Amino acid sequence: MGGWTAADIPDLHGKSTVVTGANSGLGYHTALQLARHGASVTLACRSTERGRTALDRIRAAVPDADLALAPLDLADLASVREFARRWADDPLDILVNNAGVMALPKRTTAEGHEMQFGTNHLGHFALTGLLLPALRGAPAPRVVTVTSAFAWSGRIRFDDLQGEGGYRPWLAYAQSKLANLLFTKELARRVPDVTSVAAHPGFASTNLQAAGPRMAGRALAERVATLGNAVLAQSGAMGALPSLYAAVVPDVESGACYGPRFFQYRGTPTKVTTPPQAANLQTARRLWEESEKLTGVTY
pLDDT recorded at residue 262: 79
95 burial (CB, 10 Å; 0-12 / 13-18 / 19+) is: buried
Distance CA 110, CA 118 (A): 9
Q: What is the residue-averaged pLDDT of the chain?
A: 91
Cβ partners under 8 Å of residue 263, min gap 6: none
What is the predicted pLDDT for the residue at 126?
98
Catalytic amino acids?
A: 173
Confidence of residue 206 (pLDDT cuts 50, 70, 90): low
pLDDT for residue 18 is more than 60? yes
pLDDT at site 210: 39
Euclidean distance between the first and final Cα of the chain, in Å?
A: 42
The domains of the chain, with CATH numbers, are 10-291 (3.40.50.720)
What pLDDT score does 191 carry?
Answer: 98
pLDDT tens-digit readout, 48-58: 999 999 999 99
Sorted by sequence, the CB contacts under 8 Å of residue 264 that are 6+ apart come out as 149, 200, 202, 272, 273
pLDDT band of 88, cuts 50, 70, 90: confident
Does 212 have pLDDT greater than 80? no
Nearest to 37, CA basis, from 60, 14, 70:
14
Contact 197, 142 (CB under 8 A): yes
Q: Which of 96, 86, 97, 99 is nearest to 23 (CA)?
A: 99
pTM to 2 decimal places: 0.90
* Residue 234 binned pLDDT confidence (cut-offs 50, 70, 90): confident
Averaged over 71-83, what is the pLDDT?
Answer: 98
User: How deeply is 85 buried, as exposed, middle or buried, from its count of CB atoms within 10 A (0-12, 13-18, 19+)?
Assistant: exposed
Closest to 249 in 3D by CA, of 148, 146, 140: 140
Nearest to 170 by CA among 123, 216, 233: 216
The contacts of residue 85 (CB under 8 Å, 6+ apart) are none
